[in-house]
Amino acid sequence: MTSRSLALTAELIARAHPDPVADDETALQVMTDTELAPGLAQALAARSAASESLWVFAYGSLMWNPEFAVAEQRIGRVHGWHRRFCLLQRRFRGSPRKPGVVLALERGGSCRGVAFRLDGRDPHATLMPVWRREMKGRGYEGRWVVVATDEGPVTALTFVVNRASDRFTGRLDEAAIADIIATGCGHLGPSAEYLFHTVVACAGLGIRDPHLWRLQALVADRLRG
Contacts of 122 (CB under 8 A, 6+ apart): none
Q: How far apart are CA 57 and CA 73, in angstroms?
A: 10
Largest CA distance in the chain: 54
Q: Which of 106, 134, 141, 193 is catalytic?
A: 134
Is 134 annotated in the active site?
Answer: yes
Question: Percent helix, strand, coil in the chain (nearest 5)?
Answer: 35, 30, 35
Give the single-character DSSP code of 83. E
Query: Half-sphere exposure (CA, 13 Å, Cβ side) for 122?
Result: 6
Please check whether residue 161 is in contact with residue 174, taking contact to mean a CB–CB distance below 8 angstroms.
Answer: no
Residues designated as active site: 134
